[in-house]
């Protein structure tokens, strides 16, 4: 006879918000977030070393942004500082394809963030009614292993989605003598994603993506 002691394993709950069927279809989260996201294109002067010495040339830069506030006169968009740095001209493209001029209102190089303003007076009625202010979440509440979505103007082709998980919190990264604590994710962050949104599964913004730090974080 088998005298081995039979051990009854405790029952475990496998159902959770992150493990339900919603994780296989995130289209509702994406469609809700898209009206609060923009693409940003800038033109500026840059000194480039050539065989004939240093020359100043006009260069174009592309990135993303998130609408974080709106008042009676303006929209306010957050993006990365390195997206708008040195910009002479700045264009903002909304989810419906409408493009208008924007103005840099503030920058913070040490956090790689910048604030862009768009006057409501330059928007057509359809665009003004379709855009949304992003829902802001609590990045402190996110846990390692939770699923996140990164949306941005990847490679300048327009808004696209990548999905991954939070790999680490408070990751210390130093770039150009600037040290920051960042969220690390394995969601693909490509050139043009800079300034785009990192979302939780409730569609709340918990971070701003930065290609500047992605190769180090």
Res 14: pLDDT: 40
Q: What is the mean pLDDT of residues 143-162?
A: 88
Query: CB neighbours of 38 closer than 8 A, spacing ≥ 6?
Result: 64, 65, 66, 67, 77, 92, 93, 94, 95
Q: Categorize the per-residue pLDDT at 18 as very low, low, confident or very high, splitting at 50, 70 and 90.
A: very low
Q: Categorize the per-residue pLDDT at 118 as very low, low, confident or very high, splitting at 50, 70 and 90.
A: very high
Phi, psi angle pair for 26, to nearest 5°: -105, 15
Res 205: pLDDT: 96
Higher pLDDT, residue 126 or 174: 126
Res 15: pLDDT: 42
Query: CB neighbours of 141 closer than 8 A, spacing ≥ 6?
Result: none
Q: Are 89 and 64 in contact (CB under 8 A)?
A: no
Res 16: pLDDT: 44
Query: CB neighbours of 178 closer than 8 A, spacing ≥ 6?
Result: 109, 110, 112
Q: What is the mean pLDDT of residues 82-99?
A: 93
Q: Is the pLDDT of residue 9 over 90?
A: no
| Whole-number Cα distances in Å, 156 to 7, 20, 76, 127, 210 | 58, 33, 21, 21, 15
Res 55: pLDDT: 72
Q: Categorize the per-residue pLDDT at 92 as very low, low, confident or very high, splitting at 50, 70 and 90.
A: very high
Q: What is the mean pLDDT of residues 141-160?
A: 88
4: enclosing H helix or E strand: none
Would you name the residues annotated as active-site residues?
Answer: 82, 112, 194
């Amino acid at each position: 006879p088998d005298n081995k002691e039979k051990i009854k394993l405790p029952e475990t709950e496998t159902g959770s918000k992150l493990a339900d069927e919603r994780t296989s279809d995130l289209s509702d989260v994406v469609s809700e977030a898209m009206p609060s996201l923009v693409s940003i294109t800038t033109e500026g002067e840059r000194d480039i070393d050539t065989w004939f010495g240093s020359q100043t040339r006009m260069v174009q830069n592309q990135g993303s942004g998130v609408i974080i506030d709106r008042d009676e006169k303006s929209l306010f968009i957050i993006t990365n500082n390195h997206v708008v740095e040195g910009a002479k001209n700045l264009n903002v493209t909304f989810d419906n394809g409408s493009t208008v001029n924007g103005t840099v209102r503030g920058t913070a190089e040490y956090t790689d963030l910048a604030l862009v303003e768009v006057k409501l007076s330059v928007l057509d009625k359809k665009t003004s009614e379709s855009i949304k202010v992003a829902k802001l979440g609590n990045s402190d509440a996110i846990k390692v292993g939770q699923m996140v979505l990164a949306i941005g103007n990847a490679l300048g082709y327009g808004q696209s989605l990548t999905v991954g998980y939070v790999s680490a919190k408070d990751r210390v990264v130093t770039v150009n003598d600037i040290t920051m604590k960042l969220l690390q994710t394995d969601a693909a962050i490509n050139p043009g994603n800079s300034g785009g949104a990192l979302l939780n599964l409730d569609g709340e913004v918990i971070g701003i993506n930065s290609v500047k730090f992605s190769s180090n974080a």
